[in-house]
């Protein structure tokens, strides 16, 4: 089966996905050359050429050159000294440089990448020679525009981009009037992909309806990007299931017990291994197909890489030799829970929420009556109902209570809510 999209880069972080989606939705990006010069205050030592081992005196990023440029452009007050400008540059670097991920980006330098990734259209930029989102922004915006649920998500993205941010206001003295670098959407065939991912796209629409008006724009953006990351991970699994003829839905068994030596942890680890193996099998199937089909890219590596960084797979460290298992982090739990509530719902029984989480995102906790058999049939081993399963359900319930997303009522049953204020 022909892949719905070709992954150009497997190591995609949520912050890279955000940039790709924002740029694709806007149809382009700003270069922000002056802001880049201001932010990158550290001298660039040349590694080759006539100035090897020292700073090129003609480098426009140097303090003297930049101070002169800003004075000529009348962007600085006469009262500001060069030393004060350097203080401003160091301060802006802390806010705008995105955890040291911004680099000298324009001549005479050649960058590795430049990615501010802020939900403010004044600061949406990227390095066109190094698209860090692997092309996923184009895929998501194309697909979301193909359904009513998806279009509601795009509308929320537009609203976020139109909101001014504190970082944008802080950077505004160094924002030039410039034309957007055009980056129009590349059309792709999304009809079949829309059918496969209808449930997940509707869940994203549920998510944005809860985010709207209840969180700051920055928090809305962060939680929405987590939701988009989960959408991508689930899409990889659902598409490969159909292509490989998997008879049942691929499950991800979540372990909330914090007991690494119990059988439940091994079962959760097996669920990650099986999912990754299926994605590898799909890649091999594409390679050996007759007639041949396009290479989808390394989906299995992206599943592991993006899954860790969106808070689904643990441990997060790339250097960790521990077995990877499923344990959603607090913000990821919030996203999963909010996405499973329809707009007109306020409370759901705990078991019903667990069922929706499984049906939407393929995440199993053990709260449903059939989960023991479901886990066994998936090949994760035989787990003890009274020990492993019950302990995991209790731990997940406690996690929801800590996040104020569940409460035990007088009838002894737990009710779950998408937002803390919806709890009785």
Judged on CB neighbours under 10 Å (0-12, 13-18, 19+), 203 is: buried
> Whose CA is closest to 207, among 152, 146, 141, 133?
152
Does residue 69 form part of some domain? yes
348 within some domain = no
What confidence tens digit (pLDDT) does each residue in 262-306 have?
999 999 999 999 999 999 999 999 999 888 889 999 999 999 999
**pLDDT band at 320; cut points 50, 70, 90:** low
How many domains is the chain partitioned into structurally? 1
Cis peptide before 108 (omega within 30 of 0): yes
More confident residue, 114 or 29: 29
Model confidence at 114, in pLDDT bands (50, 70, 90)?
Answer: low
For 28, list phi and psi in degrees, rounded to 5. Answer: 170, -170
Whether residue 39 lies inside any domain: the answer is: yes
Q: Would the pTM count as exceeding 0.85?
A: yes
Q: Is the peptide bond before 167 cis (omega within 30 degrees of 0)?
A: no
Res 183: pLDDT: 87
Q: Which of 65, 64, 183 is nearest to 131 (CA)?
A: 183
111 pLDDT tier (thresholds 50, 70, 90): low
Does the residue 276 lie in any domain? no
List, for residues 70-103, the tens digit of each pLDDT value: 999 888 888 999 999 999 999 888 887 766 666 6
pLDDT, one tens digit per residue, over 326-382 is: 999 999 999 999 999 999 999 999 999 999 999 999 999 999 999 999 999 999 988
Domain presence at residue 80: yes
Query: Mean pLDDT over all residues of the chain?
Result: 90
Which structural domain, as residue segments, surrounds residue 65? 34-96
d(C-alpha 176, C-alpha 243), whole Å? 49
Q: How many CA atoms lie within 13 A of 225 on its CB side?
A: 27
pLDDT band at 144 (very low <50, low <70, confident <90, very high): very high
- pLDDT at residue 195 is higher than 80: yes
Please report whether residue 65 resides in a domain. Answer: yes
Whether 60 is covered by a domain: the verdict is yes
In-domain check, residue 81: yes
Q: Percent of the chain scored above 90 by pLDDT?
A: 63
pLDDT at 93: 86
């Amino acid at each position: 089966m022909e892949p719905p999209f070709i992954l150009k880069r497997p190591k995609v972080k949520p912050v890279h996905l955000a940039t790709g989606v924002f740029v694709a939705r806007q149809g382009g990006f700003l270069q922000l050359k002056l802001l880049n010069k201001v932010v990158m205050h550290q001298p660039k030592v040349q590694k080759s050429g006539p100035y090897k081992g020292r700073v090129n005196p003609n480098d426009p990023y140097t303090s003297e050159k930049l101070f002169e440029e800003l004075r000529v452009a009348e962007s600085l007050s006469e009262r500001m000294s060069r030393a004060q400008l350097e203080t401003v540059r160091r301060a802006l670097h802390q806010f705008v440089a995105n955890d040291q991920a911004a680099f000298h980006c324009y001549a005479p330098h050649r960058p590795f990448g430049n990615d501010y990734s802020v939900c403010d259209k004044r600061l949406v930029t990227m390095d066109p020679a190094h698209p860090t989102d692997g092309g996923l922004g184009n895929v998501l915006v194309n697909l979301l525009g193909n359904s009513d649920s998806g279009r509601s998500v795009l509308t929320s993205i537009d609203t976020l981009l139109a909101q001014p941010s504190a970082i944008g206001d802080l950077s505004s003295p160094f924002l030039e009037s410039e034309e957007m670098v055009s980056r129009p959407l590349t059309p792709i065939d999304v009809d079949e992909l829309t059918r496969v991912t209808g449930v997940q796209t509707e869940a994203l629409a549920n998510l944005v309806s809860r985010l709207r008006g209840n969180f700051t724009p920055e928090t809305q953006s962060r939680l929405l990007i987590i939701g988009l990351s989960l959408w991508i991970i689930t899409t990889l699994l659902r598409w490969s299931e159909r292509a490989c003829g998997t008879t049942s839905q691929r499950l991800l068994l979540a372990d909330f017990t914090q007991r690494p030596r119990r059988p439940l942890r091994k079962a959760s680890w097996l669920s990650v291994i099986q999912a990754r193996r299926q994605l590898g099998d799909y890649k091999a199937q594409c390679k050996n197909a007759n007639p041949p089909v396009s290479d989808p890219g390394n989906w299995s590596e992206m599943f592991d890489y993006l899954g860790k960084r969106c808070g689904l797979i643990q441990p997060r460290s790339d250097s960790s030799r521990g077995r990877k298992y499923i344990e959603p982090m607090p913000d990821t739990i919030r996203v999963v829970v909010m996405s499973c509530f329809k707009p007109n719902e306020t409370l759901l029984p705990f078991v019903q929420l667990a069922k929706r989480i499984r049906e939407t995102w393929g995440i199993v906790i053990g709260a449903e009556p059939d989960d023991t058999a479901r886990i066994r049939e998936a090949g994760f081993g035989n787990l003890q109902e009274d020990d492993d399963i019950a302990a995991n359900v209790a731990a997940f319930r406690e996690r929801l209570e800590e996040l104020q997303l569940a409460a035990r009522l007088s009838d002894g049953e737990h009710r779950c809510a998408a937002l803390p204020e919806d709890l009785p």
